Amino acid sequence: MISLNRVTRVFESRDGDRITALEDVSLSIRDNEFVTLVGPSGCGKSTMLRIVAGLILPTAGTASIGGVPITEPRSETGIVFQAPTLLPWASVMDNVLFPLRMMHKMDSTSIDKAAALLKLVGLSGFEGKSPRELSGGMQQRVAICRALVHEPDILLMDEPFGALDALTREEMTMELLRIWGERPKTVLFVTHSITEAVVLADRVVVMSPRPGRIAEIIEVKSSRPRSFHVEGDADFHDASRRIRALIFGQKHVDPSRAAA
């Protein structure tokens, strides 16, 4: 279980200004829960993700996983970024194996594991290809395999489909749901897309900017397995409308209700 308890993070810019990226954020995420973070730019979504990753530490408050405070990156976490950032000199297979190499965790089963993951995302036969021979969507699939190869129990995704075209994006969203169905794990998913946030999530955390706070946490009740057909559901509609109201009608939200 991931738990953030009154987490605040302040950044100091070069000219000495202090910017509060996250203020007094509390959130608990159950094991194998799919949580999406949605909100306008500057609402601290990525900061929150990086705190859970152990890449940055809270200025105040505590972040912990399974009761253990997060003080540094832990090896049971996988990360996917907006850009695939594959190594241009390495093959698809070597890119997937990269975290294992960096962690000195390569063993006789590693290559089979990586091949199984590539099969899971539909990239069997591409093991020896170079990243530049792949389309943007395929590269991001490789990046997802790279994040899963060391069998993390937590997957952090920072706008992973943000750079893809709309059609590929929907396809990848379904793909991710399928992967999550086959290999359940706790997912924290940052996105700008309200539809994406609702289709994927058990709970959508809506954030408000300057300083970054949780505006509201919305439970998505639509049944699983889901597809974009849920867009027609009443549950889906209610959730989307509420999120839109929170994001675009920000002034009417009472900040005292923020911490949930």
Partner 1 sequence: MSTQAAPLLEKPRKRSSATLYEVVVPLLATAAGFLVWEAICKAFSVPAYLVPAPSEILTETLAIGPTVLGHSLATLKTVLLGFIVSILISLPLAVLLTASPAIAAALYPFLVWTQSIPKVALAPILVVVLGSNELPRIVITVLVAFFPLVNSSATGLMSVPPELLELSRACRASKWSELWRIRLPYAIPFIFSGLKVAISLAVVGAVVAEFVNADAGLGFLIVTSTAFFKVPVAFGALIILSVMGVVLFQIVVIVERVFFPWSTGNAMLAS
Element (H, E) at 99: helix 92-102
Cα torsion at 173, 197, 195, 233 (round to 10°)? Answer: 100
Tell me the per-residue interface mask from 10 to 49 with partner 1, x by CB under 8 A, - otherwise.
----------------------------------------
Can residue 55 be called a binding residue for partner 1 (CB under 8 A)? yes
Match 């990753």 to its residue by tokens.
Answer: 53
CB closer to partner 1, 21 vs 201: 21
**Which residues 6+ apart lie within 8 Å of 98 measured at CB?**
87, 90, 146
Element (H, E) at 219: strand 213-219
Provide the minimum distance between the beta carbon of 87 and partner 1 in the complex, in angstroms, as a whole number: 7
Provide the minimum distance between the beta carbon of 75 and partner 1 in the complex, in angstroms, as a whole number: 6
CB closer to partner 1, 53 vs 118: 53
CB closer to partner 1, 125 vs 181: 125
User: Segment near partner 1 (CB under 8 A), from 11-19, 28-36, 85-93, 213-221?
Assistant: 85-93
Provide the minimum distance between the beta carbon of 27 and partner 1 in the complex, in angstroms, as a whole number: 20
| Positions in 90-129 near partner 1 (CB under 8 A) | 98-99, 101-103
> 18, 132, 251, 252: which one contacts partner 1 (CB under 8 A)?
132
184 to 154, 159, 240: CA distances (angstroms): 9, 20, 25
User: Segment near partner 1 (CB under 8 A), from 5-13, 24-32, 81-89, 204-212?
Assistant: 81-89
83 closest CA partner among 162, 192, 194 = 162
How many Cβ atoms sit within 10 Å of the Cβ of residue 129?
15
> 60, 62, 69, 73: which one contacts partner 1 (CB under 8 A)?
73
| Positions in 134-153 near partner 1 (CB under 8 A) | 135
Can residue 162 be called a binding residue for partner 1 (CB under 8 A)? no
Tokens coding 11:
């950044």
User: Segment near partner 1 (CB under 8 A), from 16-24, 31-39, 84-92, 205-213?
Assistant: 84-92
What is the layout of strands, in order, in the sheet containing 154-158? 77-80, 154-158, 186-191, 34-38, 203-208, 213-219
**81 in Cβ contact with 32 (< 8 Å):** no
> 19, 57, 83, 217: which one contacts partner 1 (CB under 8 A)?
83
> 89, 182, 234, 251: which one contacts partner 1 (CB under 8 A)?
89
Q: How many whole angstroms separate alpha carbon 144 and alpha carbon 187?
A: 12
- Go through 141-155 and write b for each residue having 16 or more CB atoms within 10 A of its CB, e for each that does not: bbbbbbbbbbebebb
Can residue 81 be called a binding residue for partner 1 (CB under 8 A)? yes
Helix axes 166-182, 136-148, angle to 10 degrees: 20
Q: Which residues bind partner 1 (CB under 8 A)?
A: 50, 53-55, 72-73, 75, 77, 79, 81-83, 85, 87-89, 98-99, 101-103, 130, 132-133, 135
